[in-house]
Each structure stands twice: as C-alpha cells, then as structure tokens.
Structure 1
Amino acid sequence: MLDPRLLRAFAAIADANSFTLAADRLSMTQSTISQQLARLEEAVGQVLIDRAARPIQPTAAGERLLGYARRILALQEEAASALRDPAGTVSLRIGVPEDLASAPMAQTFADFARRHREIHLDVTAGLSRELMRRYRSGELDIAIAKEATASPDHRASFPEAMAWFESAEAPPAWPIPVPLVAFPPAGLYREAMFQRLEDEQLGWYIAFTGNSLHNVLVAVEAGLGLSLLPSNAVAGYRVRRHAPFEGEPPIAVSIYAGEGTGPLGELVQQMAAVLAARCGQPCKAPVRL
C-alpha cells in the first residue's frame, strides 16, 4: 500500500518543480521531503523525479504515478471530509397518520432537517394502530395516533371533530342496507362507522375500501356510499355532511415520544403546533416534557 504522506510529498515536488518550494508548501524541511520521496521511490522500485533536470521534473514513471497519486489524495480528502460532516449520523424515526402527513407537517420536518443536519429523519405514514404498535415496540421515536382517548404517556393531545359525509349530489335517503366507504380493517374510523350503524339498527355493507384519505373521499364524492371522516379533511371535495348522523364525538389526536428534551423535544413541540393549528385556536394545549 502506498503511504498517502509519501504521495503528497511526491505530488508537491512535481507540482512545484522544486524541493525547496514543495517543502515550504507542506511546512517541512527540505531534507524531510527528500527522504519521503526516496522512501516512495524505494517502495515502487522506480526513480520518480529527475533530479538532474533544471527545473527538476517527473520521470516517465513519475508521470504515470502522478495521476494515480492525485486521485488517491483526492479520495482521501473526500473520505475525511465526509467523516467530518455530521449530517445524517443520528436517525429519528417518526410515524404519522396518512391524513396528517400534510404540507404544514412536511414543512415542519424540512425546516427541522435544515437546522439539524446531524439528524436523519425517517418518516412513515400509516394507520394509527400500526404506528402505535411500532412505537410501543421501539421501532419509532415519535408517533402521532388517532384514538378514542389518549393514553397517559402522551406528550400532547388534541380533539379532532368527526362527521359523516356523502356526495354533494347524494339522494335524499340512502337505501338499506347502507353502502359504506371505509379504510382497511384495523382503521379506527371503520369500527366507529360499524358501531354507529348498529346503534341506528341499520343494515350496511362495504361498497369501497380505500388505503388513503384521497381514495376514500373520491369514492364518497362519486356517490359510492357514506363515510365517517375528520371534518377538516374534506376541503376541496364535492361532499356534504350527512344530516341524519350528526353528533359524532371528536377523536383524540395524540403525540407520543420517548423523551421530551433536546432536538426530539423541539420537533415534538413543532409537530404539536401544526396539530393545534389544524384543530383551531380553541384546542391549543401544552406539550408535556
């Protein structure tokens, strides 16, 4: 293996065409840089500098080695620079329900990443129950979950208004059994929908299952059925409230995190501010640290 220190001395001599100038540039004595060149020549078994030339110049073997030497030194500096840069050396794993992965939440993550280059954010959108399972098992550092009531270890919790929605062009009355547009099994809204229909003693069936809020809303907009959704998630879709099913209780939107200090605590505060704005001024709440 060629010693980078010897290659650096050789490249400096070749570039300066002088032992004296090269020694000055590397802050060493002329005898030291001459010794380093001699060691390199011994290692490769070739004379690399024509000392008799005026000014001194690389030999043919030296010219061949010089390109490799510069590439080796450049790669060494690149590797050292990468190790000096702390960007992405710490991972922060975050879980967010699909409908809360909004533009304001994404901007919060982007701003945080710019301020904390040492932290690599790994954000996953999914169903609340799966996100909480992963948080409880240690797979996530921060999780937002929608649940009937917040667990005692939440950092912050906000009520989110819920309502039943139908197409803006829906008929005055729905047939029985009632067609429903739902999220996949284990989705929180899905079970609440079934319970409400059973309380009303109405038959029902699943007409459409969507994996995303957009898919569900498009299906409702098209008139495929009724769905229970967050009231502030329907803007921009041609849907309206289903008047007979008023009075749905709000759902808790809660943040969970393993610790409340440092950059993680800072991010939790910022995520909570996004959720508070989503709920509106009345639902501001302090973040437990």
Structure 2
Amino acid sequence: MTVLDPRLLQTFIAVIDTGSFTVAAARLHSTQSTVSQHLARLERAIGFSLVDRAARPVGPTAVGERLATYARRLLSLQEEAIMLLSDPAGTSTIRIGIPDDIVTAQMSRRFSAFAQANRQHRLDVSTGLSRDLSRRYQAGELDIVVVKEPVARAEALASFDEPVMWFESASAAAPLVDPVPLVTFPPGGLYRDLMIERMASDGRRWYVAFTGNSLASVLSAVEAGVGIAILPQSAVRGAAVREQEELGDAPALAVSLYAWERNAAVAALAKGMEEELRATRSN
C-alpha cells in the first residue's frame, strides 16, 4: 500500500501551479535540487511520471492532472486538521449537574460568560432529579453539582434554604377534594416523596393525577387544576397558582453546591454558580 507523503504532494502542487522548479523552490523556501528529489520520490511511489519536464512552463501529465485533484483535497484536509488541533476550544470538559428549576436565565448567562472567557473548556450540563444527580456526582461522573436535599452535607461548598409549599391552581376551589389529586415528578423525586409522606401523616386518601418530567410540565398541570403539588416558591413566580392554605407550608429544603475542585477552572465556575444561587435566593 502506497502512503502519499504530504510534503511530496505539496512540492508536486507547487511545481504545477508555478510551472517552474525554480519558482516552486522559492515558494517552498527550499532549493531546486530538493524540489526535484521530492518530485522524483513521489513519482517512484506512484509508478508514473507526474510532470512534463520538457514543457515550458512545466505542466502535469495526464496522471499528474488526475493526482492533482486528490492532492489538493488531501492538503486542504491536513491544513484544516492542523488548524482544528491548534485551537484549544472545547478540549477540556466540565460536567455539571443541576435541577431543572435552577437553570434560570441568569444561571445560563453565567455559563455563557464562563464559556466565552474560557474557550478551552466545554460545558456539559445535565438536568435531572436531585437524587440522581447526587449519585452521579458521588460516582465521579459530574465535576459540579447543585442538588436539593433535606440537609446539606458537611462537604458542601455552599447551601441555601429553599422554602417550599403546597400550590394549587389560582382558579381552583377549596376545600380539598377526597381523594387528593397530586401532580408529581417521577418516582425518586424529592417533592414527590414529601407529598406522599404528608398525605400519609395527615391520614388523607390521595392518587397521582399527573406525573411530569420537568418543572414546566408539573407547573402547567397545577395551573390547569389537574391537582396540587409541593413546589419551591422561587419557581412559581408569575405562574397562575396560589398557596393551598389548607395544607400550608412544607419543610424547607437545602439547595447545596458541591464540586470536585480538580483545577482552577472548576473552582472558578463553582464560585460563579454560588454567587448566582446566593443572588437568586436573596431576592
């Protein structure tokens, strides 16, 4: 199998483009003898004469003309690969796990600002249930994670109170019906467990009327009056819901930030996320 040396192809293209061994040598910052040697090596590898040395200007043979098309493509691909590899953009990945309702416009702008200032780092952001995100972080699958939990662990970089309460549609009628229709996240969701535990402690009958995989779907179901749900106060601003007064408050949760501070970039991004969480929860 013949392997075409890019240096030889570059010399060949320079000769047929300039029509002269001398001019090709000047373009390549080489000598005429080196150009001749390179072209001779390429011709031996191909098994055919590639240029008509007797012509003035020097031109390609029929085989050389065919090879020139592929040579230009190969050289162009080589140049593209070199440029790509010389650009550090996206060569390092920072993996982030975060609950759906924490990915606000302000938090997204934090991510955008970091990415623009640190082009070598690519952000891989995953949203999901806090328990799943916590498990992935502990397994080393995530570099930074924000989770909601009953109590923050000692290794948390920062933790903030997350007031939660029962909400119903703003147009819903009280009192509660029996059994109580619940709008929940999938099994394993922290809010789902809180709702079921409260129903059990109050001795109420209940059923799952709607299960949504995102905050937007759960909130829209509550707005439509499908059922009631425990939700964070910070996530319902502007929504057509109101507090379900008969059930009242629910136990506050902690929004906790954790990071494996393997390098300065991870530490800087975690610090920016902490600032955004603090600003959001102080409003």
Q: Is the TM-score greater than 0.5?
A: yes
The residue that corresponds to 2:74 in the other structure is 72
With 243-252 and 58-67 compared, the bigger mean Cα shift is at 243-252
With 152-161 and 177-186 compared, the bigger mean Cα shift is at 177-186
Query: C-alpha offsets along residues 35-80 of structure 1, whole Å, 9 cap, x if unaligned?
Result: 1112222222222222222222222222222112111111111222
- CA distance, structure 2, for counterparts of residue 235 and residue 73 of structure 1: 57
The residue that corresponds to 1:192 in the other structure is 194
- CA distance, structure 1, for counterparts of residue 46 and residue 182 of structure 2: 78
TM-score (norm 1): 0.91
Distance 1:260 1:28, change over 3 A: closer
Q: Establish whether residue 15 from structure 1 lines up as the match of residue 28 from structure 2.
A: no
With 203-212 and 67-76 compared, the bigger mean Cα shift is at 203-212
- CA distance, structure 1, for counterparts of residue 193 and residue 40 of structure 2: 80
Structure 1 residue 19: deviation in Å? 1.2
Alignment match of 2:226 (pick from 224, 227, 233): 224
Structure 1 residue 190: deviation in Å? 1.6
The residue that corresponds to 2:150 in the other structure is 148
Structure 1 residue 28: deviation in Å? 0.8
TM-score (norm 2): 0.92
Alignment match of 2:269 (pick from 267, 270, 289): 267
Alignment match of 2:100 (pick from 98, 101, 112): 98
Distance 1:204 1:43, change over 3 A: closer
**Runs of at least 5 residues in structure 2 that lack an aligned partner in the other structure:** none
Superposition pairs for residues 1-289 of structure 1, below 5 Å?
1-259=3-261, 261-281=263-283
- CA distance, structure 2, for counterparts of residue 183 and residue 68 of structure 1: 57
Give the aligned length: 281
- CA distance, structure 1, for counterparts of residue 223 and residue 137 of structure 2: 34
The residue that corresponds to 1:285 in the other structure is none
The percent of aligned pairs where both chains have the same amino acid is 53
What SS does structure 2 have at the residue aligned with 1:205?
A: strand
- CA distance, structure 1, for counterparts of residue 71 and residue 44 of structure 2: 16
What SS does structure 2 have at the residue aligned with 1:244?
A: coil
